[in-house]
Amino acid sequence: MPTETNLRAAIKNFTGEAERFKIEDLARLLNQPVKQIQKLMRDMIEAGELKGYFTTNNEEFVTSDRLKNEVMRVLKNPQVLDK
């Protein structure tokens, strides 16, 4: 069973690569319950170890950088919302 330190490192690495993902996918990859991954991620956000947001349905996570890029893309090209 991985330690909390190992899980935190794995989460940080995964979010750095994926930027936007379903939490269920990360939990499956780490072989951990979704609720445990969500709790660890919340703890990491509060501690400043992770920068990002859960989607309103709490099923996905998006990093701050990715969200910023998505918002800028829409502001530069509002037509993308029509698709």
What are 53's strand-pairing partners? Answer: 62
- 2 contacts 30 by C-beta, under 8 angstroms: yes
| pLDDT attached to residue 6 | 95
pTM for the model stands at: 0.84
Q: What six digits make up the tokens of 20?
A: 């936007």
Ordered structural domains, the chain, with CATH: 4-82 (1.10.10.10)
- 54 contacts 39 by C-beta, under 8 angstroms: no
| pLDDT attached to residue 83 | 58
| pLDDT attached to residue 17 | 92
Count of residues in the chain: 83
Average pLDDT for runs of 10 along the chain of length 83: 92 94 97 96 97 93 91 83 67
Query: Residue 29: what are its φ and ψ, rounded to 5°?
Result: -60, -40
Residue position matching structure tokens 């690569």: 17
| pLDDT attached to residue 32 | 97
